[in-house]
């Protein structure tokens, strides 16, 4: 399962390729020590290129447990959510310092936002705008479109 991180609107011109040799077999065989660090470096370079091209909205998709779990491992939703949060916060470290509140790090719900603030309490991250999908939609549109009868 891949996860998404919306970091900062533009139309995608191309997808950034993943590094070679990151299959579950190659990682478990020890051919890659920390593939997510390499994915982070590739994502950071792609973000820098997008910013240089004046792209204002970027979505980064990544496999959150690459190198940690395989498709056959017993994985619960909490592990995936924690890995998403940690990878996102680590990846946004330099952007948070540079962009401050204009960088929006968006979490799926209030509980995930609360957990991120607890796990990453540093002032650097608190300079960025940490928010939820719902609150971002309200800030940008003034309301949230919901299915009939739904309440969040």
Position 66 confidence tier, pLDDT thresholds 50, 70, 90: confident
Instruction: Give me the helices (H) in the chain, please.
Output: 24-28, 35-52, 77-91, 93-99, 110-119, 123-127, 133-141
Q: Tokens for 48, please give them.
A: 């820098």
Per-residue confidence (pLDDT) for residue 114, from 0 to 100: 93
Residue the block writes with tokens 């470290």: 93
As given in the structure block, the two tokens for residue 107 are 């979490």
pLDDT in tens, 20-48: 766 666 666 555 567 778 888 888 888 88
pLDDT digits (tens, 9 = 90+) for 117-151: 999 988 878 889 999 988 988 888 887 776 666 56
Q: Name the more confident of 33 and 7.
A: 33
């Amino acid at each position: 399962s891949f996860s998404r991180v919306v970091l900062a609107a533009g139309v995608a011109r191309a997808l950034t390729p993943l590094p070679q040799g990151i299959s579950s077999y190659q990682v478990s065989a020890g051919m890659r020590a920390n593939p997510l660090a390499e994915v982070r470096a590739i994502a950071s370079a792609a973000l820098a290129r997008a910013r240089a091209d004046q792209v204002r909205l970027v979505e980064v998709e990544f496999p959150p447990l690459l190198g940690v779990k395989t498709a056959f491992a017993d994985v619960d939703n909490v592990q995936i959510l924690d890995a998403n949060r940690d990878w996102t916060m680590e990846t946004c470290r330099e952007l948070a310092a540079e962009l401050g509140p204009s960088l929006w790090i968006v979490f799926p719900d209030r509980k995930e936002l609360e957990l991120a603030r607890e796990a990453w309490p540093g002032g650097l991250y608190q300079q960025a705008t940490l928010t939820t999908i719902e609150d971002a939609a309200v800030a940008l549109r003034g309301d949230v479109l919901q299915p009939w009868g739904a309440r969040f």
